[in-house]
Chain A
Amino acid sequence: MITAGIDCGAKTVKVVILKDDKVIGKAIIPAGIDTKKASEEAFEEALKEAGIKKEDIDKIVATGAGRADQPFTKDSVTEVSADAKGINFLYPNVHTVIDVGAEESRAIRVDGKGMVMDFAVNEKCAAGSGAFIEAMARALEVTVEEIGPLSLQYKQEIAMNAQCAVFAESELVTLVHQQTPKPDMARAIHAGISDRIVSMARRAGLEPDIAVIGGVAKNPGFIDCLNKDLNTKVIVPDDPEFVGALGAAIAAKEI
């Protein structure tokens, strides 16, 4: 059986094609302002990698904030369900999955079969999402790719008190004027977001093993802070941003 999952996120569209429980194709495309167009492009790319045609796919399921805007299927699951299924497929021992995406983050407690036991969502504040790191990277005049490794070079832990992305930026400007080294500021940014995420995850209940997915999981500075705050070593899958799409592809087998 061949299934596909399409995750229409706020910033990127991800597609995973699954054949007999094996990923045979995947693609990621910036969502831009036209989700439909981005979905079509991502799908084409994934089909190409899989070496199959769209007609070969038995079932497609969508997820993500823009799941209703893609043109391929009316079947969908929420990001919470998709993340749970995806992580359970990859790591059956994971009982807590933290998904930090571009504009939203969530923590999900999962049982050993991929069923959601509880979840918490940070949906009202940018300070717990990738958008926050992007904004802070701009303020530090580094790229999103650079800010994570940069933070690992910190010498001093500085507390950023602001709980809000807007106020945090103001606080960062103050630190810049105080000639604070960039690595220390980058560390403070990641420590701040980690603090918020852990606080949210506690609402869902933290149960080991803990995995982190979503685009922000690729940021080593954030993961380092998270490991410290959670006092454990979190699992980061190889392609953390594809786990939601993978979960949707798994859901497609069940619908």
Chain B
Amino acid sequence: MAKYKTEPLKLWNKAKEIRQQYYKNYATAHEKGGIRWAGGAWTFDAVPAGLGEDVYSLTSEPYGASVAWNKNFALECQEAAEAFGFARDLCSYMRNYWGSILIDKYVFGGPFPKPDFLWQDHICCSHAKWYQNISYLEGGIPMYCVDMGAGAYKPFAEVTESQIDYIANQLLDGIEWLEKVTGRKFNDELFFEACWNDFRSTSRWAQICELNRAVPAPLEEKTMYSLYVLATLQKSWKVVADFYDELYEEVKDRVDRGIAAVENERVRVITDTQPPWAFLKIFRYMEKYGCVSVGSIYTYGLEGMFVYDKEKHEFNHRPLPPKKPETREEACRMLADWHMCKPEYQHFVHPEYKTLMMDAICKQWNVDGVMLHYNRGCEGLSVGIAEVRLGLLKRGRKVMTFEGNMGDEREFDEARTVQRIDAFLETFGIRKSE
């Protein structure tokens, strides 16, 4: 007999449709006289939105993950990248993406759609080189890269006006650069609206994640991957911001009615970085034990805007700014300040910051254990992960680790990982149902 009631998410299909529309919009942009640009999921996508309503993007990490999910296609891309001379231990999303260019195939069908310009931010070394090589492989596409090296955000560090200016001024320069390379006049009103949509999407997604504090959890992480991804595609897109408003209402309703994501929820865990995308079935396997992954700092904080409260040791969503931006300078400063706060940025500075945020998540989300992915495919998000493990253990959390690669299935040992999961979940005194 099930412990809780469950039911499918009503907005599931809509989320899938938005994602499909996004990739189609990019591929067909030129047919409608529009512009295509490419950049990372962390980039300030609100800025190119000022070029017009027919400007479409392709963000690289979700594209690399989509490739990873398609094992045969991924292998073709990886082998092409390796044959070209790129090392196998580089970021696997990056190799999937480069490989896709090299074999000239778009994972959603047709030839790989070449972008008109590259709009990126330098969050880790891989990301900077990623686009430099795309520019080279595609025959010299213009590229602009915003350096994010302004340090940690509050409360981990003091944030001075000059730190915000450092990023905001790069965005202001970037607007002039965009006008120059596209020959279009920048529309500030569209830009302001896109900034607001960005704030709405990322704040609202954080609030949706907060709803998962409920027992039973209304969402489980495998499903959350298909929901948070929309913000990684284009957080400044009104369609995405509106979708999250709608999703918030549905998830809140699930909480109010006690609808569980996993009907036999007994143990709650969180994970850490990107999962091995080709093996998401491990989450379904865990459910046989009544184990639900209620999220991770990755699904919460890659796009969700949270603030860590040092005094209360809490991790709460960042409320919307009091008003929309009214000048270009103000918009750039608001964007810079907003995105410097991104939880996933903080651990680039020190693993202790990530440990504190994860421990707060454990406390507020009623988490029993933590599963850390030693993700060989992402140097950025895996940096300091062993320190995080020690920090969590020190705080009395149960932690298991497993090795893998988010985008290269050749580096994931499914049988061994399942064996570890078995051993870890047995430590909670739970057994697998057949």
Q: A residues within 8 Å of B by Cβ?
A: 74, 77-81, 115-119, 121, 123-124, 205, 255
Asked if A116 contacts B423 (CB within 8 A), the reply is yes
Q: Name the one of A74, A79, A124 contacting B423, with C-beta atoms under 8 angstroms.
A: A79
What size tier do the contact residues of chain B reach?
A: 10 to 19
Asked if A117 contacts B427 (CB within 8 A), the reply is yes
Contacts A118-B399, A124-B416 aside, 20 further interface pairs with beta carbons under 8 A come to A74-B434, A77-B426, A78-B422, A78-B423, A80-B423, A81-B423, A81-B427, A115-B427, A115-B429, A116-B423, A116-B426, A117-B398, A117-B427, A118-B398, A119-B423, A119-B427, A121-B420, A121-B423, A123-B419, A255-B431
Report 25 cross-chain contacts, Cβ distance below 8 Å, ordered by A residue: A74-B434, A78-B419, A78-B422, A78-B423, A78-B426, A79-B423, A80-B423, A80-B426, A80-B427, A81-B426, A115-B427, A116-B423, A116-B426, A117-B398, A117-B427, A118-B398, A118-B399, A119-B423, A119-B427, A121-B420, A121-B423, A123-B416, A123-B419, A124-B416, A255-B431
Asked if A118 contacts B393 (CB within 8 A), the reply is yes
Q: Which residues of A contact B426 (CB under 8 A)?
A: 77-78, 80-81, 116
Q: B residues within 8 Å of A by Cβ?
A: 393, 398-399, 416, 419-420, 422-423, 426-427, 429, 431, 434
In angstroms, Cα B121 to Cα A156, docked, is: 58
Q: Which residues of B contact A119 (CB under 8 A)?
A: 423, 427
Q: Which residues of B contact A74 (CB under 8 A)?
A: 434
In angstroms, Cα B413 to Cα A123, docked, is: 11
Give the Cβ gap from B367 to chain A, nearest Cβ, in Å: 16
Closest to A123 in B: B416
Q: Which residues of B contact A123 (CB under 8 A)?
A: 416, 419
In angstroms, Cα B392 to Cα A22, docked, is: 40
Given known A74-B434, A118-B398, contact A205–B423 (CB-CB < 8 A): no
In angstroms, Cα B393 to Cα A78, docked, is: 22
Q: By CB atoms of chain A within 10 A, which of B398, B422, B427 has the most?
A: B427
Closest to A255 in B: B431
Give the Cβ gap from A223 to chain B, nearest Cβ, in Å: 25
Give the Cβ gap from B87 to chain A, nearest Cβ, in Å: 21
Asked if B434 contacts A205 (CB within 8 A), the reply is no
Q: Which residues of A contact B427 (CB under 8 A)?
A: 80-81, 115-117, 119
Give the Cβ gap from A105 to chain B, nearest Cβ, in Å: 14
Closest to A83 in B: B423
Give the Cβ gap from A84 to chain B, nearest Cβ, in Å: 9
In angstroms, Cα B421 to Cα A121, docked, is: 12
Q: By CB atoms of chain B within 10 A, which of A77, A118, A124 has the most?
A: A118
Q: Which residues of B contact A79 (CB under 8 A)?
A: 423
Q: Which residues of B contact A77 (CB under 8 A)?
A: 426
In angstroms, Cα B400 to Cα A117, docked, is: 11
Asked if A205 contacts B429 (CB within 8 A), the reply is no
Asked if B393 contacts A205 (CB within 8 A), the reply is yes
Q: Sorted from nearest, which 4 A-B pairs have the closest CB atoms? A: A80-B423, A116-B427, A78-B423, A81-B426
Closest to B393 in A: A118
Q: Which residues of B contact A118 (CB under 8 A)?
A: 393, 398-399
Closest to B420 in A: A121
Give the Cβ gap from A109 to chain B, nearest Cβ, in Å: 10
In angstroms, Cα B393 to Cα A121, docked, is: 17
Give the Cβ gap from B393 to chain A, nearest Cβ, in Å: 7
Q: Which residues of B contact A115 (CB under 8 A)?
A: 427, 429
Q: Which residues of A contact B399 (CB under 8 A)?
A: 118
Closest to B432 in A: A76
Give the Cβ gap from B120 to chain A, nearest Cβ, in Å: 36
In angstroms, Cα B318 to Cα A22, docked, is: 60
In angstroms, Cα B426 to Cα A112, docked, is: 16
In angstroms, Cα B275 to Cα A113, docked, is: 34
